[in-house]
Amino acid sequence: MLARSRPARWDAVPRQDGRRFVVTGASGGLGLETARALAAAGADVVLAVRNLDKGRAAARTMTGDVEVQRLDVADLASVREFAADVGPVDVLVNNAGVLAVPWALTADGFETHLATNHLGHFALANLLLPRLTDRVVVVSSDAHYRGDLDLTDLNWERRPYRPFAAYGASKLANLLFLAELQRRLTAAGSTLRATGAHPGSTATAITANTGDRLKTWVGSWGHRLVGMPAWKGALTTLYAATMDVPGNTFIGPGGLLEMSGWPTGVGRSQAASDPDLAKQLWLRSEELTGVRFPL
C-alpha cells in the first residue's frame, strides 16, 4: 500500500522505450502534459483527439515518437473505428473528459458527461483489451465523492439536470468501471491491470464549455489561483501509467484535501467501493454500448 502521509517528490517518469501508449484527449490540458512526458521518456505515443488540427499542433510541442489519430469518445462509431485501426498498444490512458456542460444528448442518445467520461472509454478499453500488454489507466476526479449514480436515469431525463452533479456521477462511474475491470481481469487470469488517478485541483481549460459565463470564469480562475499547473496535475496519471502498482490502485495528490501535492495512493467513496453497483453499471454499460468484456 502506498503511503499517504507526506509523499516524496515524484516527477521523473521512468524510461518507456519500446512501449506504446494511447492518450485520449491529448490536445490540451492534462492529456497534453501526460503525452508530452511519456514521449520525452521514450514512449511511442498516440494522441487520440477529436480535433486533428489541435492534435497536430500539440504534437509539434513534443519531442519523441508521436502520432495523431482522430477519436471522439462521445461517438461510439468513432470509438470503434479508432480501435480497429490503432494497432498494438501497451497502455491505454482514458483521460478525455468534459465538466459541467449543458444538457445534451450525443449522436448515440447518451447524456454528454456519461458518453464522454464513461461510456466511450468503457467501449474503447474493452475493444482494445485483446491488444493491450500492460494496463488501462482511468482518470477520475475527487468530484466522485459527490457523485450519485442513478442507473434508472443515466441520461437525466427524469430528474432535473444539474451539470456538476452529472459530472460527479460520471466520475463515480469511472471508479466503478476501474474496480469491476480489475475484478474481471483477475478472474480471467489476465496479467493486465487497471489503475486509476485523479489530478486534484489543476489549472486547465476543462471548465471552458459550461454554457454559464460566471461558472466558467470562477472555475478557470479558481483553479489558477489554488490549483497546480497542468504538468504537475498530470503526474498522478503518469504514476498510475508507468509505476509498478497493483491493479485497482487509485493515485491522487498527497496534499491537503488531495487538491495538490505529489502522487500517492488515495482512497475513494463508499459508493465507488460498492462491488454490486460496479457490476450493475458494467452490465448497463454493455447494454448501452453493445461492447462486452472480451477475455
Calculate the average pLDDT of the chain: 92
Whole-number pLDDT of residue 227 = 72
Residue 190, domain member (yes or no): yes
Residue 100 DSSP one-character state: S
Residue 71, domain member (yes or no): yes
Whether 4 and 31 have beta carbons less than 8 Å apart is answered as no
Letter string b/e over residues 210-235, b meaning 16 or more CB atoms within 10 A of that residue's CB: beeeeebeebbeebeeebbebbbbbb
Looking at the 3D structure of the chain, how many domains does it have?
1
- In angstroms, the CA 135 to CA 123 distance is 15
Residue 142, domain member (yes or no): yes
Residue 99, domain member (yes or no): yes
Residue 14, domain member (yes or no): no
Letter string b/e over residues 111-146, b meaning 16 or more CB atoms within 10 A of that residue's CB: bbbbbbbbbbbbbbbbbbbeebebbbbbbbbbbbbe
Locate 219 and state its grid cell. 472555475
Phi, psi (degrees; rounded to nearest 5) at 195: -125, 160
- Residue type at position 93: V
Structural domain boundaries enclosing 129: 20-287
Whole-number pLDDT of residue 209 = 52
Q: What does 231-250 look like in DSSP terms, one character per residue?
A: HHHTHHHHHHHHS---TT-E
User: What's the pTM value of the predicted model, to 2 decimals?
Assistant: 0.92
Task: Using DSSP, state whether 121 is helix, strand or coil.
Answer: helix
pLDDT band for 7, please (50, 70, 90 cuts): confident
Residue 293, domain member (yes or no): no
pLDDT band for 38, please (50, 70, 90 cuts): very high
Asked which of 50-54, 185-189, 198-202, 281-285 is least confident by mean pLDDT, the reply is: 198-202
pLDDT at 121 over 60: yes
Candidates 145, 161, 167, 239; catalytic one: 167
The verdict on whether 167 is a catalytic residue reads yes
- In angstroms, the CA 54 to CA 13 distance is 25
Residue 188, domain member (yes or no): yes
* Angle between helical axes of 163-187 and 275-289 (0-180°, round to 10): 100
- Give the residue-averaged pLDDT of 88-114: 97
Q: Read off the pLDDT of residues 238-289 as tens digits, 9 standing for 90 and up.
A: 999 999 999 999 999 998 889 999 999 999 999 999 999 999 999 999 999 9
- Give the residue-averaged pLDDT of 210-238: 68
Whether 48 and 69 have beta carbons less than 8 Å apart is answered as yes
Residue 295, domain member (yes or no): no
Residue 185 Ramachandran class (φ > 0 left, ψ -120 to 50 alpha, else beta): alpha
% residues pLDDT > 70 (the chain): 90
Residue 222 DSSP one-character state: H
Q: What CATH number did the domain enclosing 219 receive?
A: 3.40.50.720
pLDDT at 114 over 80: yes
